[in-house]
Amino acid sequence: QETTSNSFGNGIINSVAKDSSFSIKFGARFQSLYISNWKNSELEGFKSESSNFLIRRARLKFNGFAYSPKLEYKIELGLSNRDISGASKFTSDAPRYVLDAVLKWNFYENFVLWAGQAKLPGNRERVVSSGNLQFVDRSLLNGQFNIDRDLGLQLHHKIDLGNQVVIKEAFALSQGEGRNVVTGNLGGYQYTGRLEVLPFGEFKDYSEASLERYETPKLAMGVTYDYNDKAVKTRSNMGEYMFTENGLHRTDITTFFADFMFKYKAISVLGEFAHRDADNPIAIEEDGTPTGAVVNVGNSFNLQAGYLLDNNIEFVGRFTNVHETIAGAHFPNLNQYTLGVSKYISKHKLKVQTDISFNDNPDPGMNQVVYRLQVDLHL
Amino acid sequence: QETTSNSFGNGIINSVAKDSSFSIKFGARFQSLYISNWKNSELEGFKSESSNFLIRRARLKFNGFAYSPKLEYKIELGLSNRDISGASKFTSDAPRYVLDAVLKWNFYENFVLWAGQAKLPGNRERVVSSGNLQFVDRSLLNGQFNIDRDLGLQLHHKIDLGNQVVIKEAFALSQGEGRNVVTGNLGGYQYTGRLEVLPFGEFKDYSEASLERYETPKLAMGVTYDYNDKAVKTRSNMGEYMFTENGLHRTDITTFFADFMFKYKAISVLGEFAHRDADNPIAIEEDGTPTGAVVNVGNSFNLQAGYLLDNNIEFVGRFTNVHETIAGAHFPNLNQYTLGVSKYISKHKLKVQTDISFNDNPDPGMNQVVYRLQVDLHL
Amino acid sequence: QETTSNSFGNGIINSVAKDSSFSIKFGARFQSLYISNWKNSELEGFKSESSNFLIRRARLKFNGFAYSPKLEYKIELGLSNRDISGASKFTSDAPRYVLDAVLKWNFYENFVLWAGQAKLPGNRERVVSSGNLQFVDRSLLNGQFNIDRDLGLQLHHKIDLGNQVVIKEAFALSQGEGRNVVTGNLGGYQYTGRLEVLPFGEFKDYSEASLERYETPKLAMGVTYDYNDKAVKTRSNMGEYMFTENGLHRTDITTFFADFMFKYKAISVLGEFAHRDADNPIAIEEDGTPTGAVVNVGNSFNLQAGYLLDNNIEFVGRFTNVHETIAGAHFPNLNQYTLGVSKYISKHKLKVQTDISFNDNPDPGMNQVVYRLQVDLHL
């Protein structure tokens, strides 16, 4: 057995070459999750519906720089069945094992060009690593409207306006079919633009919970506009394929996000708004008959806040509204109320999180209470 | 190229942090197997039936402690097609890549709480790592009756009675649907209790072959009782789902194991007994028609012994009886006789193993001779 | 963070044990590829047909020696959807994750015995790692005729004739069903023999591009003869299974390769010829009706050359002819002309490659122009 000067939470390997020709951080993580659902039926009253133990996420991560510090790489692999699900003929009927495989080249001043598969510059909650959340999992806004990962190019840029004000811009040109697709582009491309303003300087704005306990208020605000030309899936580059008898229904889909992250001392607040629109949200056959598939056009709003005690126990609350405006949508008008408690034993690297949610639906027969308990280890 | 003070068989990486904040052992292994079957047909006589080259197992393993030596983790990933098979709608139609993903927390004295996916405290042969076997593979008792891995909690405890006598207890509360399931609990939970007595002190009782050449006799005895409430699969949490027209056949299944491991000088002996029972072993439709699926209720007995020469060649023999008592069972009354030779080049880390088995069935047309040759490398 | 004396391109880990009991090189790589196709239709003229962003390959590699420097191992795992595709009932309906899992034992002088799954000693272009190509990808000769990987044994031997002349021989006994198969041998075995002559001494003859800039001419010539007894797939141990109503069509398939690699200063030339024959290339039902599946019998020829500038930019050209002689074959008589440019930023470990191909078919409606751009990172 060797001894290493690395410490817990910084990777299994974390090295830099003496000749500065590369660096590597190789990490692993997994989440053990327990979920319990209760249904609030008018007829049967409040009753237990189902429970679920699962390995929610398990990952291997490789990142660092290669050849030059100006060329960074990231590879992230999913291991759990939830991580790798989604096989279809569009993925060679193979599991979707690779999450990220991307090169980031700082080719000039503050410009960085990304090539490969990576998260798009979409809503903040999505871009926050699933290992840095202050609830057991992301909100329903994210579940229904996020634009996840895709293949293509991204250009990232940063402007230091002085007086602490920082502006960040990102533009992505993507295939628009989602991650791990091998069959190529089916409609047009997907175009994503994002603008961020950090009026009080840079901070850990892509990590939830106020673990840094900033002495001064910190704020990040962002907007994203995403246009998926001739998209073929119900949630832009996510969701189900809209098959027709003779191929696929194609419609232009736009997704808009506005979000902010605020951190000050023990307090953290994250707010997000999402809006999706489509030219022809109802998938139809050539003769005009609806196929049953619809694009989830509509709006969503998410607001969450946390207060971190000195013992690194955090109390969090979240309100989410999902309002999908098309007939037959999954969430016609859902309000979700969530309360949670997290114990950060070693920041986000070892933590126990629990939360309870009440889903309030227009149809009370669909109302649900969901309890979740999760342990997260991140080497 | 760097030099490492680690040596072969102890992992690709094997490090502990200077600040004692974590340790990591990262290992890899694979088994190359050749199998040849002969059928002993009354009409055609003894004839070759089939042959098979395969990568039987290939694994990546991560284990160590994190944050504190009192919190251990283990992640084991399957790589070979035999390892990862078993995709179904219950596993998101994704391969079953994760074998183990478990935290083990020594929260108080001799009490250790496990959370995640791991082997249940079932029969000894199953809990012995597949890399530490004295035959090419486990017995038919294990194949038909083991309770493998599951998701949930386990509590392990040890009592030192003094005078070398050690008692170990384990209790598991599991989902009862087997590993890598994402669809939650389908019937009730699964409850497993195990009690072990080691009258002459602790020893490597979960590793086959007497490689330690103990100077005094060593014995471990164990019993396991497992109750799977409203199980939906033919072998408790293993086997096929018992589908009916309107869902799944549910029946309570109990599995009982008694086993021992004896090691003394060059000799090792492993014995196991298994018994399975079910309330309604024959899966039926609502109108009472059998679906064809049956729970493999019955008994099995396995006894194996090995003698290790000074040159680390071991001769082993095994007798297994499987007696599944329900009509239509796969093994109505099978006797299997196996002889094997292993050469432990570097203990279990590099070895060549070969064995030949004769399967004696009530229907002689089913009789078979199986020859196997395997090379095992464990970094 | 630790510092390592290793440098970029030599693995994430690259260590040898102080006690010489093992060595390990653990590497990772991925390729981000963009493809664009144009069709040259008589009616519609030259028009864009499709485009594709994808992670073409992503791999983890483990190799080194174990126990003794005379025993080498190699494990290579595929990660991308293109790498792991090909699940079938013959692979347990599981993705084909393991590429290589092989032990190489130098048991006597220049004799090395391989056991496990590895590339067969087939055509040179196939045996060259996909990370060491001078085009974006291998030629169509390779695509249609290569014999890829299989499970079984290989015997490799080398003779030093003195005066720099080296002879290499390889013989493989394989299952003949391709990689990752778990269902055993379906017909007879596959037998492969290869002979190589290197008249001017050993050199990097399994790596394309003249990155070594040899001061004297270097040449390697090889021939392979492969006999797949009772093969059941359309391309010997590759391609589609030839299913019939009552099982599988079986036919003996022979594949012959002749190839050479020449390197001198900035110039590299690679030439290959392939020929495939089958006893009964047309799969038929018992009553003689063709099933539609055919073995791709025929010939192919590939010649490619590159010139490497001082700034490590290489210009390459390739001509490939594929002449499948059976009615219904995919490539009745294709000529492909490819021009490419590669920038080797850090040899094959970090490079950008682009090429454009014109496919000239007997049916001009099938003519295509294909443009490709790829970035390759190999840690």
Find the CB nearest A94 among C2, C28, C85: C85
Beta bridge partners of B364: none
Taking the C-alpha atoms of residue A152 and residue A173, their distance in angstroms, rounded to an integer, is 6
φ, ψ of residue B221 to 5 degrees: the values are: -125, 140
Residue type, C196: E
Taking the C-alpha atoms of residue A256 and residue A273, their distance in angstroms, rounded to an integer, is 8
Taking the C-alpha atoms of residue A360 and residue A346, their distance in angstroms, rounded to an integer, is 35
Tokens standing for residue B209: 């072959």
User: Which of the pair, A246 or C197, is modelled with greater confidence?
Assistant: C197
Q: What is the pLDDT of residues B309-338, one digit of tens each?
A: 999 999 999 999 999 999 878 889 999 999
Class of domain B13-378: mainly beta
Looking at domain A31-54+129-378, its CATH architecture is: Beta Barrel (2.40)
Find the CB nearest A8 among B67, B95, B180: B67
Residue C53 CB partners (closer than 8 Å, separation 6+): A151, A152, A174, A175, A184, A185, C32, C33, C34
Distance from CA of B16 to the nearest CA of A (A): 5
Taking the C-alpha atoms of residue A101 and residue C31, their distance in angstroms, rounded to an integer, is 9
Taking the C-alpha atoms of residue A74 and residue A90, their distance in angstroms, rounded to an integer, is 24
Which of the residues in chain B have pLDDT under 50?
none
Residue among A3, A24, A5, A2 at smallest CA distance from A13: A24
SS3 C81: helix
Tokens standing for residue B206: 């979960």
Q: What is the pLDDT of residues A62-104, one digit of tens each?
A: 999 999 999 999 999 999 999 999 999 999 999 999 999 999 9
Q: Do A32 and B94 touch (CB under 8 A)?
A: no
Taking the C-alpha atoms of residue C85 and residue B128, their distance in angstroms, rounded to an integer, is 33
Residue C46 pLDDT > 70:
no
Q: What is the pLDDT of residues B208-257, one digit of tens each?
A: 999 999 999 999 999 999 999 999 999 999 999 999 998 999 999 999 99
pLDDT number for residue C239: 95
Taking the C-alpha atoms of residue C187 and residue B306, their distance in angstroms, rounded to an integer, is 37
Q: Do B17 and A2 touch (CB under 8 A)?
A: no
Find the CB nearest C52 among A98, A115, A184: A184
Residue C43 pLDDT > 70:
no
Taking the C-alpha atoms of residue A250 and residue B304, their distance in angstroms, rounded to an integer, is 64
Find the CB nearest C8 among A17, A117, A174: A17
Neighbouring chains of A at 3+ CB pairs within 8 Å?
Answer: B, C
Q: Do C93 and B85 touch (CB under 8 A)?
A: yes
Q: Do A4 and C4 touch (CB under 8 A)?
A: no
Residues of A in contact with C85 (CB under 8 A): 92-94, 182
Q: Do A97 and C85 touch (CB under 8 A)?
A: no
Distance from CA of C16 to the nearest CA of A (A): 13
Taking the C-alpha atoms of residue C131 and residue C140, their distance in angstroms, rounded to an integer, is 17
Kindly provide the residue ranges of all beta strands, DSSP E only, lying in A146-285, ordered along the sequence.
149-162, 165-174, 190-198, 218-231, 233-235, 238-241, 243-244, 247-248, 251-264, 267-278, 282-284
Taking the C-alpha atoms of residue A334 and residue A325, their distance in angstroms, rounded to an integer, is 11
How do C368-378 and C23-41 pair as beta strands? antiparallel
Neighbouring chains of C at 3+ CB pairs within 8 Å?
Answer: A, B
pLDDT number for residue C323: 96
| Chain A residue with the nearest C-alpha to that of C78 | A97
Find the CB nearest A6 among B10, B17, B151: B17
Residue A43 CB partners (closer than 8 Å, separation 6+): none
Q: Choose from B1, B34, B349 for mutation: most chain C CBs within 10 A.
A: B1
The residue extents of the domains of chain C are: 22-378
State the DSSP string of C227-286: EEEEE-EEEBTEEEE-EETTEE--EEEEEEEEEEEEEETTEEEEEEEEEEEESS-EEE-T
pLDDT number for residue B46: 67
pLDDT number for residue B256: 98
Q: Do C182 and B81 touch (CB under 8 A)?
A: yes
Q: Do C94 and B79 touch (CB under 8 A)?
A: no
Find the CB nearest A1 among B16, B18, B62: B16
Q: Is the ipTM of this complex over 0.90?
A: yes
Termini Cα distance of chain C = 18
DSSP for residue B172: E
How many CB contacts within 8 angstroms connect chain A with chain B?
133
**Residue ranges of chain C whose CB lies within 8 Å of a chain A CB:** 1-9, 12-13, 28, 30, 32, 35, 50-55, 58, 79-82, 84-87, 95, 345-346, 349-350, 375, 377, 379
Pair C192, C238: CB distance under 8 Å: no
| Chain C residue with the nearest C-alpha to that of A116 | C32
Pair C220, C205: CB distance under 8 Å: yes
DSSP for residue A284: E
Burial class of residue B59 in the structure, from the number of CB atoms within 10 Å of its CB (0-12 exposed, 13-18 middle, 19+ buried): buried
Pair C232, C184: CB distance under 8 Å: no
SS3 B71: strand
SS3 A144: helix
Taking the C-alpha atoms of residue A275 and residue A297, their distance in angstroms, rounded to an integer, is 7
pLDDT number for residue B113: 98
Burial call A71-85: b when 16+ CB within 10 Å, e when fewer: bbbbbbbbbbbbbbb
Residue B174 CB partners (closer than 8 Å, separation 6+): A53, B120, B150, B151, B152, B153, B189, B190, B191, B192, B237
**Is the CATH code 2.40.160.10 the one for domain C22-378?**
yes
Distance from CA of C118 to the nearest CA of A (A): 22
Residue C279 CA from chain centroid, whole number: 25
Helical residues (DSSP H) of B120-170, grouped into ranges: 124-127, 140-145
Distances (CA, A) of C328 to C144, C282, C307: 14, 10, 38
Average pLDDT for C99-109? 98
Tens digit of pLDDT per residue, chain A (379 long)? 999 999 999 999 999 999 999 999 999 999 999 999 988 766 666 677 789 999 999 999 999 999 999 999 999 999 999 999 999 999 999 999 999 999 999 999 999 999 999 999 999 999 999 999 999 999 999 999 999 999 999 999 999 998 999 999 999 999 999 999 999 999 899 999 999 999 999 999 999 999 999 999 999 999 999 999 999 999 999 999 999 998 999 999 999 999 999 999 999 999 999 999 999 999 999 999 999 999 999 999 999 999 999 999 999 999 999 999 998 788 899 999 999 999 999 999 999 999 999 999 888 878 899 999 999 999 9
pLDDT number for residue B42: 61
Residue among A375, A322, A336, A365 at smallest CA distance from A40: A365
pLDDT number for residue B367: 87
Find the CB nearest A103 among C58, C85, C375: C375
Residues of A in contact with C379 (CB under 8 A): 22, 24, 62, 66, 73
Residue C116 pLDDT > 90:
yes
With a pLDDT cut of 70, the percent of chain C lying above it is 98
- The label of the residue with tokens 């080249």 reads A105
Residue among A308, A305, A342, A341 at smallest CA distance from A320: A305
pLDDT number for residue B96: 96
**Residue ranges of chain A whose CB lies within 8 Å of a chain B CB:** 1-9, 12-13, 28, 30, 32, 35, 50-55, 58, 79-82, 84-87, 95, 345-346, 349-350, 375, 377, 379
Find the CB nearest B95 among C71, C94, C152: C94
The mean pLDDT of chain C is: 95
Q: How confident is the model at residue C330 (pLDDT cuts 50, 70, 90)?
A: confident
Residues of B in contact with C247 (CB under 8 A): none
